[in-house]
Structure 1
Amino acid sequence: MSQDFSRAKRLLLPRQFKAVFDSPTGKVPGKNLLILARDNQLDHPRLGFVIGKKSVKLSVERNRLKRVIRESFRQHQHQLAGWDIVIVARKGLGDTENTELQQHFSKLWKRLSRLRTATPVDTEPKGLQSQNA
């Protein structure tokens, strides 16, 4: 998997965000933020942001947060394959320093990747599998 952050690795359409908000399969709360994730049946993860003016007042701060989070995501995307991820910012996130954000997101990505291994991929009961085979 390449380490880029191309258009294919972004959530762009409202229906993509809605799908994650309506039925998240993983929730990871963090300091002043929430990560929602949903299985996307792709070989790469996709990332989206919800950073409102009420949460982070200055556009400079909102853009800095997006830059730092994007870079962290880019570096850890190999362990996040198959997720659609939405970062929801809360008040106080804009006050966090870049190095603290990097460290915090490294931990959050690890927690999210552990959810993938804990969540069963196949939701069909075992008895039905043998009948269909």
Structure 2
Amino acid sequence: MNQLSDSRTALPLTFSKSLRLLEATDFQKIFDDAPFRASHQHFLILSRSNQLNIGRLGLVIAKKHLRLAVERNRFKRLIRESFRTRQHAFAGLDVIVLSRKGLENLTNAEFSQQLDQQWQRIFKKARQHRLRSQPQPQGE
């Protein structure tokens, strides 16, 4: 019985519609001004702060880079799953992941490892930005 009550208090790790960037204007804000970037040979992550308590994810997986729909869907699934399991770390951030040429050559494990490394770079940059933008205590 105790285990049941513990699972109810845990925050759910779903990927609901509220966690997705859906509006073109939201995408454009990030494309116009993305202070947090993490670049990899096969993909690019752009991010900026939002005024929400949640993180939101947008995907731009181009047919130009991944010809087969099954490949595009595979990478979208991997990105969404990675975001979903770390969604609390993305609080206050809007993130877009863009594909680049050669992405299809990565295995799921290789891609997941590289994506994790790039997420960490984004988190670090966002954390540093928050620390710099906090008001400094005034000395006497």
TM-score by length of 2: 0.83
Q: How far does residue 39 in structure 1 lie from its aligned partner after superposition?
A: 0.6
Q: Distance in 2 between matches of 1:89 and 1:60?
A: 15
Using a 3 Å threshold, how does the CA distance of structure 1 residues 124 and 69 change in structure 2: closer, same or farther? closer
Q: Give 2:53's aligned residue.
A: 43
> Quick check: 1:67 aligned with 2:98?
no
Residue type of the alignment partner of 2:22: L
Q: Give 2:116's aligned residue.
A: 106
Identity among equivalent positions (%) equals 40
Aligned residues: 128
Q: Give 2:6's aligned residue.
A: none
Flag the structure with larger Rg.
Answer: 2
Q: Could you say what secondary structure the match of 1:88 adopts?
A: strand
Structure 1 runs not aligned, ≥5 long = none
Q: Give 1:28's aligned residue.
A: 38
Contact 1:51 1:62 in 2 (8 A): yes
Q: How far does residue 25 in structure 1 lie from its aligned partner after superposition?
A: 1.7
Structure 2 runs not aligned, ≥5 long = 1-10
Q: How far does residue 94 in structure 1 lie from its aligned partner after superposition?
A: 1.7
Q: Could you say what secondary structure the match of 2:130 adopts?
A: coil
Q: How far does residue 123 in structure 1 lie from its aligned partner after superposition?
A: 4.7
Within 5 Å, which residues of 2 pair with 1:1-133?
A: 1-120=11-130, 123=133
Residue type of the alignment partner of 1:78: H
Runs (4 or more) in structure 1 with deviation over 3 Å come to 120-126
Q: Distance in 2 between matches of 1:42 and 1:121?
A: 18
Query: RMSD in angstroms over aligned alpha carbons?
Result: 2.0
Q: How far does residue 96 in structure 1 lie from its aligned partner after superposition?
A: 1.0
Contact 1:52 1:89 in 2 (8 A): yes
Using a 3 Å threshold, how does the CA distance of structure 1 residues 124 and 105 change in structure 2: closer, same or farther? closer
Q: How far does residue 3 in structure 1 lie from its aligned partner after superposition?
A: 1.1
TM-score by length of 1: 0.87
